[in-house]
Amino acid sequence: MIDPTLAADIREIASLQGTFRLRSGQISRTYFDKYRFEADPALLRRVANEMLPLLPADTEVLAGLELGGVPIATAVSLVTGLPAAFVRKEAKEYGTCLAVEGADVRGKRVVLIEDVITTGGAVADAARLVSAAGADIIGVVCAIWRGNGKPAIAALPDMPVTAAMTAADLGG
């Protein structure tokens, strides 16, 4: 069960009302501005702590998705001591020319870390890149699930997806 004070604090700082287009193309009257809680060290620490028990025991690397999953993966990494990798939306065209930076994921059991998931389109895109880098993706852990029903990603039907909070926990 989510810490009700955390849910209330996230709702207060990050829940915006209006008309918002989500990455999925859906229109929503409520938007969870994850950057507002990710930029607050105390809230970010509390979110990371809520995510810790959701990590599979055999996790070897945390892979934070650009951009919002990166600070969360870093915060979880600091607490667990697990190395972190950072997944770009596409390989950069300079320097290392990699889509997956940081910890080496090749041959490792990797958990994808995301901030807010509605349908999981960005997660499915990142999973392809992380798999192509040689990782064995064993799960997805997100801070907020705002999709319908139980957390799941249609494009990754066999992938376990867990969430620290849901839109219902946040009153949305």
Q: What is the pLDDT of residues 32-72, one digit of tens each?
A: 899 999 999 999 999 999 999 999 999 999 999 999 999 99
What is the average per-residue pLDDT within 130-143?
98
Given this model, what pLDDT does residue 110 score? 98
For 16-41, b where at least 16 C-beta lie within 10 A, e where not — what string? eeeeeeeeeeeebeebbebeebbebe
Given this model, what pLDDT does residue 172 score? 63
- DSSP assignment of 135-149, as one string? -EEEEEEEEEE-SSS
Residue 117 is assigned to a ligand binding site = yes
Residue 121 is assigned to a ligand binding site = yes
Tokens of 46: 């509390």
Residue 23 is assigned to a ligand binding site = yes
Residue ranges covered by each domain of the chain: 4-166
pTM (predicted TM-score): 0.94
Residue 92 is assigned to a ligand binding site = yes
Given this model, what pLDDT does residue 78 score? 97
Residue scoring higher pLDDT (3 or 155): 155
What is the average per-residue pLDDT within 23-38?
89
**Residue 101: pLDDT band with limits 50, 70, 90:** very high
CATH, range 4-166: 3.40.50.2020
What is the average per-residue pLDDT within 100-125?
96
Residue 171 has pLDDT above 90, yes or no: no
Residue 136 is assigned to a ligand binding site = no
CA pair distance 60, 138, nearest whole angstrom:
10
Q: Which residues pair with 111 in a beta bridge?
A: 62, 139
